[in-house]
Each structure stands twice: as C-alpha cells, then as structure tokens.
C-alpha cells in the first residue's frame, strides 16, 4: 500500500543551533490514523510544518503522495498543499471575511460550483454547531468557536490528508468529542489523519490509533505502527 507521507533520515535545524528534529524515519499509510504526542517544545509543530510544506528539511528525504517534495520544483507545491487540510494551532482565519467565507475559501480556490459551496459549508457549519454564526467575522467569535471554523475549513474539500495541531485545545470536552468523531468519520472514508495533541481525553478516545511520540526531536514508536503500519485502522468504537 502506498505511503501518503514518507520521511527518511529527516532533520530540521533552525539557524545555527542544534537540530530541532533528527533522523525522522516513518511512513503514514493511506487511510491511517495517527496521534502525535510529546512534551511542549519536542518539535510537534515543526514536524507538521514539514508535512504541510511550510518548511523544507535541513536534510533527508520527504515524499508526499509518492513524490519527493524536497527537490521538487516549487511551482508544483501548491498542488500538493491543496490535497492537505490543515488545522493550525493558532487557527489562521482571515479576519476580514465572514465565518462562512473562511470555510468556503478552499472550495472557491478549486473552482467549486456555488451550489456545492453553499451545501458543503452549511452542512459543516451545522456539524460544528456554528450555523447561526455564519455571517459573523472571526473576531466576534470565542477561541473555541474560531477553532471549530478552522476545522470546518480544513475538511471542506475532503482532502486526502488532514493534519491538525491541537484541534481540541480550545473547546470543551463535548465539542472535543464531536471534532474527534468528525475526524474519525473522514478517516473511515479513507482520509489519512495526523493529529498532534496533548489532550489525554482525545488520546483515550482512540485506543487503536497509531501513536507517534516526539522526544527532543526524535521519534518513539510506542505502538510499533510506524515500523509495521496497519493497512487500514480498525473501526473505532
Ligand atoms: N521558527 C522558529 N525559529 C527558531 N526556533 C523555532 C522555530 N519554531 C520552533 N522553534 C523551536 O523548535 C523547538 C520545537 O518547537 P515546536 O513548536 O515544534 O514544538 P512543539 O512540540 O509543537 O511544542 P508545543 O507542544 O508547545 O506546541 C522549540 O525549541 C522552539 O523554540
């Protein structure tokens, strides 16, 4: 089965200091569900930034969807980025447009039909409990509400890969459960999901998820799933 993400001997160094990430070797198989944990400062966001093509590694090979994205012509990177739904830790909503338009934006970029945009955005905003706030600007929302908008935006195009950095960091346990359920449902439909989280409740909800643990920039593999990746995750209870 093809790897959606493959890292070989990847290292990342900011400036002239020691490496923040070292010798990362792993494969995320198509349709897998991974949780990335580790103490604050271990390098989780840095690792996600390599996968989402926000940064290039200092060394090593990264393949996304089977292609080497380190040496690739930069002009081709947007096509890869469009296949990835990203939930940023700091949301990164566009402040000058409405909640609806923030979620609609990825669909507008790919030229989706207006009817499809209306239907998809409306459905997702209802799913995250924000249908009544569709016309609001992001600044009028609480942190947790903004996080839900960011999640709706990340999944609206049904991307091949979803990368979420602390997607439940600002919401209550009930909403965290809904968000997790949404990501699980997308995973069952074949989307590969990688979630970086400190949320022990979230980790407890996903006993079958493959765990990746970063420790000072190197990766532990407590479930062995990186060396022997499951072809497909077992269904969640
Ligand atoms: N742009 C940057 N320039 C220089 N150093 C950076 C940069 N981004 C992150 N770092 C450093 O890299 C290390 C790892 O940071 P990173 O944000 O990846 O960790 P993290 O595991 O996501 O932490 P947290 O759980 O607190 O979000 C930290 O020491 C951080 O200071």
Helix (H) or strand (E) segment spanning residue 195: strand 192-196
Task: List the structure tokens of 133.
Answer: 């706030």
pTM: 0.89
CB 7, CB 60: distance < 8 Å: yes
Find the distance separating the first CA and the last CA of the chain, reported in whole Å.
25
Kindly give the distance from the C-alpha atom of residue 55 to the centroid of ligand 1, in angstroms, as a whole number.
Answer: 13
Ligand 1 touching residue 40 (CB < 6 A): yes
Residue for token pair 């593999």: 221
pLDDT band at residue 182 using 50, 70 and 90 as cut-offs: confident
CB atoms within 10 A of CB 9: 12
Q: How far apart are CA 152 and CA 129, in angstroms?
A: 10
- Please state the rounded mean pLDDT for residues 47-66: 96
- Please state the rounded mean pLDDT for residues 150-175: 91
Q: Can you tell me whether residue 7 is helix, strand or coil?
A: strand
Ligand 1 touching residue 217 (CB < 6 A): no
pLDDT value for 226: 66
Kindly give the distance from the C-alpha atom of residue 142 to the centroid of ligand 1, in angstroms, as a whole number.
Answer: 25
Ligand 1 touching residue 14 (CB < 6 A): yes
Q: Alpha-carbon dihedral of residues 196, 198, 200, 205, nearest 10 degrees?
A: -10
pLDDT value for 20: 96
pLDDT value for 224: 66
pLDDT band at residue 228 using 50, 70 and 90 as cut-offs: low
The lowest-confidence range among 66-75, 120-129, 206-215 is 206-215
Q: Is the pLDDT of residue 171 over 90?
A: no
Kindly give the distance from the C-alpha atom of residue 60 to the centroid of ligand 1, in angstroms, as a whole number.
Answer: 19
Comparing 234 with 130, which gets the higher pLDDT? 130
For the purposes of burial, counting CB atoms within 10 Å of the CB of 137, is it exposed (0-12), middle (13-18) or buried (19 or more)?
A: middle
Q: Determine which residue's CA is closest to atom 31 belonging to ligand 1.
A: 41
pLDDT in tens, 87-121: 998 899 999 999 999 999 999 999 999 999 999 99
Q: How far apart are CA 90 and CA 127, in angstroms?
A: 21
Comparing 2 with 64, which gets the higher pLDDT? 64
Q: Is the pLDDT of residue 181 over 70?
A: yes
């Amino acid at each position: 089965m093809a790897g959606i993400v493959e890292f070989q001997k990847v290292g990342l160094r900011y400036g002239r200091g020691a490496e923040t990430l070292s010798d990362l070797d792993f494969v995320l198989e198509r349709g897998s569900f991974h949780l990335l944990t580790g103490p604050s400062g271990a390098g989780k966001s840095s690792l996600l930034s390599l996968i989402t093509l926000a940064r290039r590694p200092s060394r090593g090979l990264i393949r996304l969807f089977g292609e080497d994205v380190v040496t690739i012509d930069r002009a081709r990177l947007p096509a890869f980025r469009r296949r990835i739904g990203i939930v940023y830790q700091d949301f990164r909503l566009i402040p000058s447009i409405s909640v609806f338009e923030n979620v609609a934006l990825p669909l507008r970029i790919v030229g989706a039909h207006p009817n499809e945009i209306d239907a998809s955005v409306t459905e997702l905003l209802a799913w995250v409990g924000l249908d009544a706030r569709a016309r609001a600007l992001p600044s009028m929302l609480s942190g947790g509400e903004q996080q839900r908008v960011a999640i709706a935006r990340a999944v609206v195009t049904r991307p091949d890969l979803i990368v979420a950095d602390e997607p439940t960091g600002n919401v209550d346990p009930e909403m965290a459960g809904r968000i997790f359920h949404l990501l699980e449902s997308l995973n069952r439909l074949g989307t590969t999901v990688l979630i970086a989280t400190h949320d022990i409740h979230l980790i407890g909800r996903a006993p079958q998820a493959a765990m990746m643990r970063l420790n000072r920039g190197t990766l532990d593999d407590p479930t062995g799933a990186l060396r022997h990746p499951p072809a497909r995750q077992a269904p969640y209870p």
